[in-house]
């Protein structure tokens, strides 16, 4: 029994997230079908996380325990042959027997992309949030710095049956920068809660609107109340950028 680390990238526009659902098409379902066509086996696979409907991934990691003897490089090429054009395998490599895509993960980096221009960009439809009012990226960067550190992120989490126990996370990086008309919010942490980055983004936009100030972020964290933070930004601007092991 071998263990593999497979790194994927995908456009999540046509999928209801990663995890298999009964009545909706997901990335996992499509990936598993391609894997079974290649190996002829029903593989035991574990994912680094769950992305929601419409969320994209530049680096999504899956560990696969398999009895297949196909070399990793050939396996990657074969998978790409069967996968649709909006999903691709970037790499496939052997991993230690105890490697687990989720539990071996040390942290992740997400990026939320905002198209900041009075006119919408059709080529970014479903891939970036269109925000037509001016954005002061320096103001939002100052606000984002309030997220850095080890905090209870209850205020930045949509509570459901998936979230139980400790809601404390350590954010190691949070920044807002501009690249032309694209404004990027990048955040890295040892883990993320349900909708956490999207709520962080929505709260930053509340700062832009003057409804909150950068100095309010610590108070929102301390409140441990979802109502204290801003709205949940749409899914289509969010990308899983990197996974750290």
Choose, from 44, 52, 59, 166, the residue flagged as catalytic: 52
**DSSP assignments along the chain, one per residue:** -EEEEEEEEE-GGGSS-SS--SSS--HHHHHHHHHHHHHSS--EEEES--PPTT-EEEEEEEEEEE-----HHHHHHHHHHHS-TTEEEEEEEE--TT--TTTT--EEEEEEEEE-SSS--GGGTTTSEE--S---HHHHHHHHGGG-EEEE-GGG---STT--S--EEEEEEEEEEEETTEEEEEEEES---TTHHHHHHHHHHHHHTTSS-GGGHHHHHHHT-GGGS-PPPPGGGEEEEEEE-
Concerning whether 59 is annotated as a catalytic residue, the answer is: no
Instruction: Spell out the per-residue pLDDT of the chain, length 245, in tens.
Output: 799 999 999 999 999 999 999 899 999 999 999 999 999 988 889 999 999 999 999 999 999 999 999 999 999 999 999 999 999 999 999 999 999 999 999 999 999 999 999 999 999 999 999 999 999 999 999 999 999 999 999 999 998 765 568 999 999 999 999 999 999 999 999 999 999 999 999 999 999 999 999 999 999 999 999 999 999 999 999 999 999 99
Does the global pTM surpass 0.75?
yes
């Amino acid at each position: 029994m071998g263990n593999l680390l497979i790194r994927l990238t995908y456009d999540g526009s046509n999928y209801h997230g990663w995890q298999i659902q009964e009545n909706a098409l997901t990335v996992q379902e499509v990936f598993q079908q391609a894997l079974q066509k290649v190996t002829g086996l029903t593989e035991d696979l574990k994912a680094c996380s769950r992305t929601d409907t419409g969320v994209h991934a530049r680096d999504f990691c899956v560990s696969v325990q398999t009895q297949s003897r196909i070399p990793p490089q050939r396996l990657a090429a074969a998978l790409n042959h069967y996968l649709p054009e909006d999903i691709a395998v970037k790499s496939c490599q052997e991993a230690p027997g105890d490697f687990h895509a989720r539990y071996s993960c040390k942290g992740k980096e997400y990026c939320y992309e905002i198209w900041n221009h009075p006119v919408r960009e059709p080529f970014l439809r479903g891939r970036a949030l269109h925000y037509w009012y001016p954005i002061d990226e320096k103001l939002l960067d100052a606000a984002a710095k309030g997220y850095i550190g080890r905090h209870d992120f209850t205020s930045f989490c949509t509570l459901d049956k998936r979230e139980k126990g400790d809601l404390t996370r350590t954010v190691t990086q949070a920044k807002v920068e501009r690249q032309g008309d694209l404004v990027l919010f990048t955040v890295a942490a040892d883990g993320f809660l349900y909708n956490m980055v999207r709520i962080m983004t929505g709260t930053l936009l509340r700062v832009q609107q003057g409804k909150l100030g950068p100095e309010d972020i610590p108070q929102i964290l301390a409140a441990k109340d979802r109502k204290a933070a801003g709205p949940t930004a749409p899914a289509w601007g969010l990308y899983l950028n990197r996974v750290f092991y």
